[in-house]
Structure 1
C-alpha cells in the first residue's frame, strides 16, 4: 500500500465524512467535495478508493430512499453510462500518470463549471442519456460524476433526487469499477486504501440522517464549489509542472 501517514489517513477520513454527509443530504456531493481534497492529500486516494467508498455509500442511500425510486426515469441515464464507461476506459488506457493529473484537474474544473453554469436541461430521455454518459465518464476518471446527472434533477424534489440519483450512481459505480480494473487502476493497494478510509464514509452517512432536513445545502453549495475549484486548479498546476 502507498505509505500514508496517520495525519493523511485522518484528513482523508474527514474529507470523506464531509462528502458522505453532503451526499446523504443532497443526493450527490461525495465526489465533488472529497475527490479534489483527497487528490491533494495523496493522489493514490483517487479514483479507485473513492469510487469504492462511493459505491457502498450509494447502497446505503438507495436503501434509505427506496420508497421514492422511479426506475423508468433512471434507465436512460444508465444506458448512457455504458458509453461513458467505454470512453473512460479508453482514456485511462491511453494517458500516462502525468496525463492523469492533467485530466483530473481539467475534469474537476469542468464539473465546477457545470454546477455554476445555470443550465437547466429538462428531465427527458435524450438529456438523461447524455448526462449519464458524461457522469460515468467523469466519475470513472475523477470520482466526480455528480454535476452532469445533478443538472437534470435540479428541479425535482429531495426524496426523488436522492433515490433516483442513488440508483444511477450504484450502477454507474459498478461500470466505473469494471473500467478501472480493466485499465489497471484498481488492485490490492486501492482496496487497502478503501479499507482505511471507509470509516469516514460510514460516519458521514450516519450524520446525514440527523441533518437531512436541517442542513442548508444551498447555502453550503458556493463553499463546496470553491473548494473543488481551488483543488482542481492545484491538480491541474501539478500536472503542468510535471510535464
Structure 2
C-alpha cells in the first residue's frame, strides 16, 4: 500500500479532534460532525467525509446501546425517510464536484450548519418538520459529515435522555446511508478505511470520557466555543478552496 498522506502529528491531531467531537456528542446527543469535521478538513481533506462518517457510525452504535431504554423509534422514522432522500441527492452532487468544488461546498455547508445552530429557530417536532430536517441533515451529513444542526433544531425542547437516544438512532441510520452514498460516489477507498482504523481510538476515548461527564457538564456549556471553531474552520475551508 502507498504511504499515508498524513504524518504522525496529523494522525494525533485527528484523533484529538474526533475524541473532542465524540465527547460532545456523548453528552449533548450530537456534535461530532459540527466540531470534528471542519477541524479534520483543515488537518487533511482526506479525513472527510468518509473517514469521519465511519467513525460516526461506531459512535452512534455505542450511544444507542447506552441510551436504548429512552428510544422511541416512531418519533424518528419520518426523519429517517428524509435522510434517505437527502443522502441520495448528496450522492448525485458529489459525483459532479471537483476537489476544489468539494472544499468550497464543504465550507459553505459548515457555515450553514453554524447559522442554523444560532438562528434561534424552534420548529415543532412533527411529521413534516421531521422529514424536512432529516432531508437537510442527510444532504449535509453526506457531503460534510455535519448533519446534526438541522435535526437538533426539532429536538431542542425535548428531554435530554430522549434527545440522546432518538438522535443516536437517527444518526446511525444517517451515517449508514451516507456511507453507502459515499461508496457509490467513489469517496470511500482503501485509504479512507485505513484512516478510519487509525482514528477510531479517538471515538472510543471520547465516548468513554462522555460517560464520566454525562451528568456533570451541561450539554450546551461549550456551544459558543464549538460554533466559533466550526465557523472559523468553515471559513478556512472556503479560503483554502478559492486559493487552490
TM class by shorter chain equals over 0.9
Matched, 1:76 2:78: yes
SS of 2:154 mapped into structure 1: helix
Partner of 1:214: 216
- Residue 120 of structure 2 aligns to a residue whose secondary structure is coil
Alignment of 1:90-239 (within 5 A): 90-239=92-241
User: Any stretches of 5+ residues in structure 1 without a counterpart?
Assistant: none
Give the SS at the match of 1:217: coil
Say if 2:38 and 2:230, in contact at 8 Å, map to a contact too: yes
CA contact (8 A) 2:28 2:220 kept: no
Please name the residue that 1:64 is paired with: 66
**Alpha-carbon distance between aligned partners in 2 of 1:215 and 1:185, rounded to the nearest angstrom:** 36
Q: CA deviation at 1:2?
A: 3.5
Tell me the distance in 2 between the aligned counterparts of 1:51 and 1:133.
17
Contact 1:85-1:136 at 8 Å conserved across structures: yes
Q: Which 4+ runs in 1 deviate beyond 4 A?
A: none
- 2:38 maps to 36
Retained in 2: the 8 A contact 1:2–1:44? no
1:168-198 deviation per Cα after TM superposition (whole angstroms, max 9, x unaligned) = 0101111100110000000100000001001
Gaps of 5+ in 2: none
Deviation by residue 1:178-237 (Cα, 9 ceiling, x = unmatched): 110000000100000001001011000000000001113322100000000000000011
1:3 shift after superposition: 2.0
The structure where helix makes up a greater share of residues is: 1
